């Protein structure tokens, strides 16, 4: 095991997959010399050449479409969207093209591309640089959506994503970039589509992903002091969603809090709760609770940003209430 | 062109104000007083002030991520711009927007924005309003060379010129988009050359020369105002700093940086004013002193301003509900 930053784990996955498979190429704004806004790919152009580590003009709609075309015809592009907020400019290519080609053209078509992008608030970047838009993606059939919370999962899931023959959106967390975690030596993958129980407990289930997993674990730690045993599930893949792992836990605990950094309405937590209600209604001892960002643009001022976005205290309070009231 | 001496001195003062505003910011970021990020326009003060000097006071302006200079040149209150960077309640957006998202419609500033190229269609729409509502106003849309790679830019320019709207697309070509030199992003690095294909009237000016920018904008604005349609002006300039707070700016040749530093727009304007007898060294010294004082006052105002009330965070999302 080696200790790596989440960001370095992602970089390692890119490097190893590029070394393993010549068809893997990287594209994005300022990714070559500069290394991208978060310096993740710094120096990679020297190693793999400007053909394979390709700077693009500021043209998200264009270069995501280029990646779709390249993926359709033999390359395995990994594109970087500098901030998830800018994914909106590429939504047509993703939703109307990448997500539909296999379905409409059948066996002959496959779109083995990965779109990596950092999401989330916490840095005071303001309304156009702090969003978590995964709900747009999971609502688009034909996309696989991944959002790891640890360095180990980030590396293993990115490798799976690159080797996958379908379009995968790989959501990174700006805040988690700076977190360290144990990463296994050598080549390994983490399977797409599988949630993980990251803490065991009997009293209440907390479902989370990406940065909210960290917050959920902090909440669970705090709850333990009050003799409340929380089970924490990290979804890891948002689409397709691993409902079974979540349901198995809820059947045990009877109570559930679902936490996300995106906006409440129509969000990931809403989807998880709907699935729980459908699949294990009889086991529920308490109404499922969603913890999410308020339904407003993410403000820049630290005071307002904190007010608008959830953290471990919100999660902990909600979980404690479910246990105490029901 | 006939210039009003006191106006020129005021514009020089504003350019110094813009520079020292960002110098102050730089220090405040360094001390951790301000968080988040910010894109400075050091070196681009002449394209900001010259452009706005070429407009009439009630003409409209849209900006981009590098917008402090545009906003201050348009007449923003430096105290409230500073307060916005502090995330304070007295900031132009009440702390909601931060560096990249500010507006004051009352002075014709329709907003800065963090999405590269995002404002070009919006500026075009504002110009459509001016035409259909017969306001006699012109819209000036600031954007960068990098933004001209976005689809929305091309779509907007096409509509602006085809519909003969009263709009000036003002490209501040500082020759880099983050670390990417224009020649790496475009086979034809000249934005004006590329835009010609849409049928626009285009021109290229020295963006570090206040007088050149002002004249180009003035001439285009007055023609556009009387129905001659859209214009594109490419102001060649250079940022004398990194792209953003986190950029050490290691990708530009040193000779190039030095050559542009020697053409610092503040120096050029001061020299010209003196040469033509439009201002004395004492006048300029006084203008600088006033600008520094104003920035000190702005920082103090921002420091002393209250934090926004978290209870208000959800207020004012919609008009209707
Ligand atoms: C849609 C979108 N893509 C990418 C970015 C990241 N970004 C911010 S500024 C910038 C460079 C813009 O270059 P240019 O338009 O030339 O303006 P300059 O920064 O040189 O003033 C980039 C890539 C963004 N903010 N929005």
The contacts of residue B116 (CB under 8 Å, 6+ apart) are: A58, A86, B64, B65, B144, B146, B147, B150, B177
Question: To which residue do tokens 């144990």 refer?
Answer: A182
Q: Are A176 and A209 in contact (CB under 8 A)?
A: no
Beta bridge partner(s), residue A2: A183
Ligand 1 probe mutation, B22, B141, B147, B178, most atoms within 8 A of CB: B178
Of A60, A123, A301, the CB nearest to B95: A301
**B126, B7, B143: which is closest to B65 by C-alpha?**
B143
Q: What is the pLDDT of residue A305?
A: 98
* pLDDT given at position B109: 98
CA-nearest residue for atom 5, ligand 1, is B116
Put simply, the answer to whether B146 touches A58 (Cβ < 8 Å) is yes
Question: How far, in Å, CA of A318 to CA of A312, rounded?
Answer: 10
Average pLDDT, chain B: 97
Give A-chain residues touching B151 at CB under 8 angstroms: 59, 61-62, 89
Chain B residues 82-101 within an 8 A CB cutoff of chain A: 87-88, 91, 93-101
Q: What is the pTM of this model?
A: 0.94
Planar angle of CA A64, A69, A70, nearest 5 degrees: 95
CA–centroid distance, A87 to ligand 1, in Å, is 14
Test site for ligand 1: of B22, B62, B65, most ligand atoms within 8 A of the Cβ: B65
Asked if the model's pLDDT at residue B115 lies above 90, the reply is: yes
Q: Is the pLDDT of residue B1 over 90?
A: no
H/E run at residue A41: none
Instruction: Tally the residues of chain A.
Output: 326
Asked whether B234 lines ligand 1 (CB < 6 A), one says: no
CB of B114 shorter than 6 A to ligand 1: yes
Please give the pLDDT value at position B268: 98
User: In this structure, how many other beta carbons lie within 10 angstroms of the beta carbon of residue A309?
Assistant: 23
> Which segments within A75-179 are labelled E, that is strand?
76-80, 114-119, 144-146, 168-173
C-alpha triplet A30, A17, A10: angle, nearest 5°:
55
Cβ of A63 closer than 6 Å to ligand 1, yes or no, is no
**CB distance B54 to B215 below 8 Å:** yes
pLDDT tens digits, B37-49: 999 999 999 999 9
A283-312: per-residue pLDDT in tens? 999 999 999 999 999 999 999 999 999 999
Three-class DSSP labels, A230-277 = EEEEECCEEECCCHHHHHHHHHHHCCEEEEEEEECCCCHHHHHHHHHH
Q: Which two tokens stand for residue A13?
A: 């996955």
Q: How far is CA B99 from the centre of its chain?
A: 13
Structure tokens, B13:
């003062």
| Rg of chain B taking only CA atoms, in angstroms | 19
User: What is the Cα–Cα distance from A185 to A188, expressed in whole angstroms?
Assistant: 8
For residue A197, how many other CB atoms are within 10 A of its CB? 15
Tell me the average pLDDT of chain A.
Answer: 97
Cα–Cα distances (Å) from A65 to A45, A74, A159, in that order, read 22, 15, 22
Q: CB under 8 Å to B105, separation ≥6 — which residues?
A: none
Those residues with Cβ within 8 angstroms of residue A131's Cβ, 6 or more apart along the chain or in another chain:
A84, A85, A119, A121, A262, A298
Q: What is the dihedral of CA B268, B271, B275, B280, to 10 degrees?
A: 140
Q: Is A2 helix (H, G, I), strand (E, B) or coil?
A: strand
- Indicate if ligand 1 lies below 6 Å from the C-beta of B79: no
Q: Which residue of B has its CA nearest to A57?
A: B185
The residue from A97, A129, A215, A271 that is catalytic is A129
B146 at interface of A, judged by CB pairs closer than 8 A: yes
A129 is catalytic: yes
Mutate to test the pocket of ligand 1, among B41, B63, B116 (most ligand atoms within 8 A of CB): B116
Chain-centre distance of CA B280, in angstroms?
Answer: 27
CA triple A322-A319-A222, angle to 5 deg: 140
B188 touches chain A (CB under 8 A): no
Evaluate if residue B266 carries a pLDDT over 90.
Answer: yes
In which residue ranges of chain A is pLDDT below 70? none
Q: Is A50 on the interface with B (CB under 8 A)?
A: no
- Interface check A65 vs B, CB under 8 A: no
Q: With an 8 Å Cβ cutoff, is A308 touching chain B? A: yes
Backbone angles phi, psi at A92, to 5 degrees: -60, -50
B174 C-beta closer than 6 A to ligand 1: yes
Interface confidence, given as ipTM, is: 0.90
The runs of H, that is alpha helices, within B133-264 are 151-162, 182-185, 191-196, 210-223, 254-261
- Smallest Cα–Cα separation from A117: which of A82, A147, A89? A82
Q: Of residues A29, A60, A134, A214, which has the active-site annotation?
A: A60
Is A58 in contact with B185 (Cβ distance < 8 A)?
Answer: yes
Which of B11, B84, B19, B6 lies closest to B295, judged by CA?
A: B19
Residue A60 annotated among the catalytic residues of the structure: yes
What is the spatial distance between Cα A247 and Cα A278, in angstroms, rounded to a whole number? Answer: 10
By the 8 A CB rule, do A59 and A85 touch? no
Which residues neighbour B26 within 8 Å (Cβ) at sequence distance 6 or greater?
B40
Instruction: Answer yes or no: do B97 and A127 touch at CB < 8 A.
Output: yes
8 Å CB contact between A177 and A6: yes
Task: Determine the pLDDT at residue B246.
Answer: 86
pLDDT at A246: 98
Helix axes B5-30, B265-275, angle to 10 degrees: 160
Indicate whether residue B144 lines ligand 1 (CB < 6 A).
Answer: yes
CA-to-CA separations, B120 to A85, B168, B200, in angstroms, rounded: 18, 10, 15
pLDDT tens per residue across span B147-185 = 999 999 999 999 999 999 999 999 999 999 999 999 999
Residue B178 has its nearest CB partner, among A30, A300, A307, at A30
d(CA A4, CA A15): 14
B267 CB within 6 A, ligand 1 = no
Widest distance between CA atoms in chain B: 59
Cα–Cα–Cα angle for B193, A62, A169, nearest 5°? 155
A89 pocket-lining for ligand 1 (C-beta < 6 Å): yes
Q: How far is the CA of B34 from the centre of ligand 1 (A)?
A: 22
DSSP string, B45-112: HHHHHHHHHTS-TT-EEE--SS-HHHHHHTT--HHHHHHHHTT-TTSTTTTSS-TT---BGGGTB---
**pLDDT of res. B2:** 80
- Measured in angstroms, the CA of B310 and the nearest CA of chain A are apart by 6
Whole-number CA gyration radius for chain A: 19
């Amino acid at each position: 095991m080696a200790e790596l930053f989440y960001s370095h784990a992602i970089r390692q996955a890119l490097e190893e997959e590029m070394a393993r498979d010549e068809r893997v190429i990287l594209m994005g704004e300022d990714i070559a010399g500069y290394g991208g806004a978060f310096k993740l790919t710094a120096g990679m152009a020297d190693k793999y050449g400007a053909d394979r580590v390709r700077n693009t003009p500021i043209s998200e709609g264009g270069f995501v479409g280029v990646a779709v075309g390249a993926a359709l015809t033999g390359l395995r592009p990994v594109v970087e969207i500098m901030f998830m907020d800018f994914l909106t400019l590429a939504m047509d290519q993703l939703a109307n093209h990448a997500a539909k080609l296999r379905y409409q053209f059948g066996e002959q078509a496959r779109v083995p591309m990965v779109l990596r992008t950092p999401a989330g608030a916490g840095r005071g970047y303001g309304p156009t640089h702090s969003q978590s838009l995964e709900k747009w993606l999971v609502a688009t059939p034909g996309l696989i959506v991944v959002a790891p919370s640890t360095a180990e999962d980030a590396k293993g899931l990115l490798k799976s994503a690159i080797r996958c023959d379908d379009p995968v959106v790989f959501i990174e967390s700006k805040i988690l970039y700076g977190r360290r975690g144990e990463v296994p030596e050598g080549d390994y993958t983490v399977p797409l589509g599988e949630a993980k129980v990251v803490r065991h407990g009997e009293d209440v289930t907390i479902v989370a992903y990406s940065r909210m997993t960290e917050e959920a674990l902090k909440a669970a730690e705090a709850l333990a002091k009050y003799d409340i045993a929380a089970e924490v599930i990290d979804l890891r893949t948002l689409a397709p969603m691993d409902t079974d792992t979540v349901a198995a836990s809820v059947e045990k605990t009877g109570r559930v809090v679902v936490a996300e950094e995106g906006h409440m309405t129509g969000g990931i937590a809403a989807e998880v709760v709907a699935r729980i209600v459908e699949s294990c209604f009889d086991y529920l001892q308490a109404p499922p609770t969603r913890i999410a960002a308020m339904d407003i643009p993410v403000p820049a001022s630290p005071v307002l940003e904190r007010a608008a976005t959830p953290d471990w205290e919100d999660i902990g309070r909600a979980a404690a209430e479910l246990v105490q009231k029901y | 062109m006939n210039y009003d001496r006191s106006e020129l001195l005021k514009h020089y003062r504003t350019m110094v104000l813009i520079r020292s505003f960002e110098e102050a910011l730089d220090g405040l970021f360094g001390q951790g007083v301000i968080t988040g990020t910010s894109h400075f326009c050091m070196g681009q003060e002449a394209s900001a002030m010259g452009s706005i000097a070429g407009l009439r006071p009630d003409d409209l302006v849209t900006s981009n991520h590098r917008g402090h200079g545009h906003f201050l040149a348009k007449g923003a209150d430096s105290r409230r711009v500073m307060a916005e960077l502090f995330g304070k309640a007295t900031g132009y957006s009440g702390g909601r927007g931060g560096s990249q998202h500010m507006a004051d419609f009352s002075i014709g500033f329709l907003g800065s924005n963090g999405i590269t190229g995002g404002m070009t269609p919006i500026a075009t729409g504002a110009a459509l309003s001016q035409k259909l509502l017969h306001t006699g106003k012109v819209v000036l849309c600031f954007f960068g060379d990098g933004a001209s790679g976005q689809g929305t830019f091309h779509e907007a320019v096409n509509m602006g010129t085809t519909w003969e709207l009263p709009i000036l697309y003002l490209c501040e070509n500082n020759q880099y988009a983050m670390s990417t030199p224009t020649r790496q992003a475009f086979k034809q690095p000249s934005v004006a050359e590329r835009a010609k294909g849409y049928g626009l009237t285009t021109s290229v000016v020295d963006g570090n020369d206040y007088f050149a920018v002002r004249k180009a904008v003035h001439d285009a604005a007055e023609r556009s105002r009387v129905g001659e349609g859209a214009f594109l002006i490419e102001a060649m300039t250079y940022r004398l700093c990194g792209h953003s707070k986190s950029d050490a700016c290691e990708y530009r040749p040193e000779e190039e940086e030095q050559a542009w530093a020697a053409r610092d727009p503040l120096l050029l304007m001061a020299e010209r004013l003196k040469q033509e007898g439009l201002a004395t060294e004492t006048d300029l010294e006084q203008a600088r002193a006033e600008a520094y004082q104003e920035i000190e006052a702005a920082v103090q105002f921002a420091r002393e301003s209250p934090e926004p009330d978290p209870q208000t965070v959800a207020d004012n999302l919609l008009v209707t509900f």
